[in-house]
Structure 1
Amino acid sequence: MAYATPPPVDHPGTFIKEELEDRGWTQADLSYILHMDVSQLNKLIKGATSITPDTAVALGDAFDMPAEFFLNLQQLYDLHRTRKADPGVKARAAWVSKFPVREMIKRRWIEDAEPDLLDLQMLRFFGKNRIEDIPFVSDAPLLAHAARKQDYAGTTELQYVWLNRVRKMAEQIECPLYSEEALRKNLPSIREHMHLKDDLIHIPEILHKSGVRFVLVEALPGSKIDGVCVWLGGQPVIGMTLRLDRIDNFCFVLMHEITHVLNGDGKEFSFAPVDSDTGNDVAMDCEKVANDEAAEFCVPRALMDSFIARKSPFISRDDVLSFAARLEIHPGVVVGQIQNRTKKWNWLREYQIGIREYLLEWKHKDGWGHFSPTGL
């Protein structure tokens, strides 16, 4: 990042010397006027001592100028000298004003380093050659052709950092070439593994065999992000946060991102819209399609409509268990969809079980106390 070098600032003694020359006074004349020892005045003019408030008042009276002028000269000089003490302050402030640098260091995505090395690490982290090309730091667009994709503008700085961590991790994963045919063929198998929480860990491997890299990266605080589909040279990557730690959310978000992969959403921009609860992504057509496909995949709409019509408004626990068993999917997924339709978020919450501990057995993860190589 470019940092302006402040112009040199002379000691106030330089101004006093020039003023003496303009007035035709000697140092002895000024020492007499100020009632100050000549050697003491000489030290002040040479910059060996500083102007005090008392001296500033005396100089103001002697030269018929405001005392504040001399105090300001001294303050500017002192600030100029102090500014040289730590050149990294401005560099760190510039990055911290845009990105969660301290959190990135805490998670070992970058190292705590001197300004030049910090700049270099941030460039490599974002995969850019120039700081001017990094979105949020400059006027660089978030995506190519961003003017025609205004809906992407909802992506925040935190989300952009997170998805770049997903990208850096994915770059280090060896994976077969992506096959849309193989992925579609494996969808029934993926759904079968949504029946039991212990089976969820097999899903990432199924994706990998289809040519889809799958990484888990803990969400950055405040990012409100669930997942994303990233493209690396035409190869898809699915990144997830497991932020809500519920089986219904995992199944829905996973299929949401798989739909992006199958439809090639975001392929020309490097990533599809970030899946979050910020409310900015639902306006895009591809997001609506992904939402509908994910819901249909987990629980077919026609069957859900029929179930609710027959059982509502008094849907019992046994009704849900029987319905889920018939669909061969975990009851928590059914509960999640019914909650979403009825807006009764506390209904049968005991079936929205946590699944993070099972999925963290996956080798490609970052966060939750696990640290992956930075790739920088």
Structure 2
Amino acid sequence: MATSKFIPSVAFHPGVTLAEKLKEIDMSIKEFALRASKPEKTIHAVIKGESSVTSDMAVAFESVTRIPAHFWLNKQRNYDEYQARARKEATIEEASEWAKCFPYAQMVKLGWIEPVKTPQEKAKSLLSFFQISSVKAWEDYYLNQKLKIAFRISLAHTKDPHSVSAWLRQGELQAAEMKTPDYSEAKLKDLIHQLKSVMIYQPSDLASKVRELCAEAGVKLVYTPCLQKAPVGGSTRWINGTPCIQISGRHKRYDIFWFTLFHEIGHILLHGKKDIFLEDDCHTEDEQKKENEANQFSSHVLLSRADEDEIIRNGVFTPDAIKEYADRFNTHPSVIVGRLQHHKVIPYTKNSDMLLPIDLFR
């Protein structure tokens, strides 16, 4: 059973003890300063609690007061800790309102965070989850782009930056548990054909198989359920020199899962290591340009425009025809149906039974 460290309700600055001791031995501050070889103004500052007792001071105080140096240092350390905890409590109180912005109950249900009751406990738990010390630190990290040297991230334009940041953080924690070899661009390019084979043959362990294949190329792939108010399909970013793909599987559709995966792989192959790519509905002009490039990459991998045009020219969209096209163009029937529906070649009601479901978390 865990035990809590005793925290005193109050701690006094060692200057209080020094003042009491000087009164006890009937010694003036001026005389004490002289005997301790310290400036008188320094001793005044210590007694007023405006200056800390250093190791050098503690040894000098020991000589004059005959109170061990470790006593003075312990007094100072306890006082400093008390003050730090008081500041921390003030920070927690401020963070209590911030904590209300997160879907805490859902995060508990998903096993991301521990169940607690009070707003203050939730604030402490969330600060620990994000590995930060204050709300300002969270804002600087996720909203204000203070880590431009590491990577560019700003969730200020997202619909719910709190939920999105929690989703991203959980992905980071999942990725941290994975061990992969160094990233190889050549292996990742070669991997595309193997991934397509997995897509076509649909093994029962598909989700884990895809993750293992990505790991062989030095890419960490994690599956993270999306949170309320954070309808994110996927994300790509580099963490400590390793590309990481995070997929939510929120649509639970086979073709969309594969489109998202190859879209994220496209970001790795086409774009910079300092960008973080988030698949939601809010993008700047530059971000949208890169999203379009990743979309084109994924579309071409799954079904090239030339192959799609040939299917459309043929004009036959029966289930048997769709399966024949899939065999001919080395793709999956659900990809073809999804593409034709998306481009409004066929209505969304046609061949919908060929749009297979997928659950990454079963």
TM-score by length of 2: 0.65
Segments ≥4 residues shifted beyond 6 Å: 136-139, 148-152
CA shift for structure 1 position 149 = 8.1
Q: Mind listing any 5+ residue stretches in structure 2 that lack a counterpart?
A: 1-89
Q: Residue 271 of structure 2 contacts residue 290 of structure 2 at CA under 8 Å; is this kept in 1? A: no
The answer to whether the aligner puts 1:268 opposite 2:274 as a matched pair is yes
Q: Which residue of 2 aligns with 1:181?
A: 186
> Structure 1's 154 and 116: CA in aligned 2 closer, same or farther, altered over 3 A?
closer
Aligned-partner Cα distance in 2 for 1:253–1:126: 26
Aligned 1:108-123 pairs, distance under 5 A = 108-113=111-116, 118-123=122-127
Q: Percent sequence identity over matched residues?
A: 24
8 Å contact 1:95–1:101 — kept in the other structure? Answer: no
217, 221, 242: which is aligned to 2:224? 217
State which of 293, 297, 313 in structure 1 corresponds to 2:297: 293
Measured after TM superposition, the shift of residue 173 of structure 1 is 1.2
Pairing partner for 1:257 from 264, 287, 291: 264
Q: Indicate how the Cα distance of structure 1 residues 279 and 139 shifts in structure 2: closer, same or farther if over 3 A, else same.
A: closer
Post-superposition shift, 1:182?
1.1
Secondary structure at 1:237 match in 2 = strand
For the pair 1:100 / 2:103, whether they are aligned, the reply is yes
In the TM superposition, what whole-angstrom CA distance separates every residue of 1:218-274 from its partner, at most 9, and x where no partner exists?
111232111111321120111111111111101100000111112244x214x22x1
CA–CA separation in structure 2 for the residues paired with 1:297 and 1:324: 13
**Structure whose CA Rg is larger:** 1
Q: Deviations over 1:339-369 (max 9, x none)?
A: 110172222110111121xx44xxxxxxx6x
**Partner SS, residue 199 of structure 2:** coil
Per-residue CA deviation, residues 289-334 of structure 1 (Å, 9 max, x unaligned), is 00011011000111101211231xx522222111011122220011
Task: Work out the CA distance in 2 between the residues paired with 1:218 and 1:151.
Answer: 19
Residue type matched to 1:97 in 2? K
Aligned partner of 1:174: which letter? Answer: K
Report the Cα offset of residue 140 of structure 1.
Answer: 3.5
Match of 1:340 in 2: 342
Write the distance in 2 (CA, Å) between the matches of 1:92 and 1:141. Answer: 20
Query: What runs of 5+ residues in structure 1 fail to find an aligned partner?
Result: 1-86, 361-367, 369-376
* TM-score where L is the length of structure 1: 0.63
What amino acid does structure 2 have at the position aligned with 1:349?
S
Deviations 1:141-178 (A, max 9, x none): 48639xx9889723632222111110111111111111
Superposition RMSD in Å:
3.2
* Maintained 8 Å contact 1:247/1:354: yes
Aligned residue for 1:26?
Answer: none
* Residue from 169, 188, 198 that aligns with 2:174: 169
Contact 2:95–2:120 (CA<8 Å) still a contact in 1?
A: no
Q: Is the partner of 1:194 in helix, strand or coil?
A: helix
5 Å-filtered alignment, 1:36-75, equals none
Greater relative contact order (Cα 8 A, min sep 6): structure 1 or 2? 1
| Whole-angstrom distance in 2 between the partners of 1:139 and 1:304 | 41
* CA spacing shift, 1:347–1:96, aligned 2, 3 Å: farther
How far apart in 1 are the matches of 2:186 and 2:258? 21
The 5 A counterparts of 1:1-376 are 93-113=96-116, 118-135=122-139, 140-141=144-145, 144=148, 153-154=157-158, 156-157=160-161, 158-198=163-203, 200-201=206-207, 202-265=209-272, 267-269=273-275, 271-272=276-277, 274-276=278-280, 278=281, 280=283, 284-311=288-315, 315-342=317-344, 344-356=347-359, 359-360=360-361
Residue pair 2:145, 2:154 contacting (<8 A) in 1 also: no
The amino acid that maps onto 1:244 is H
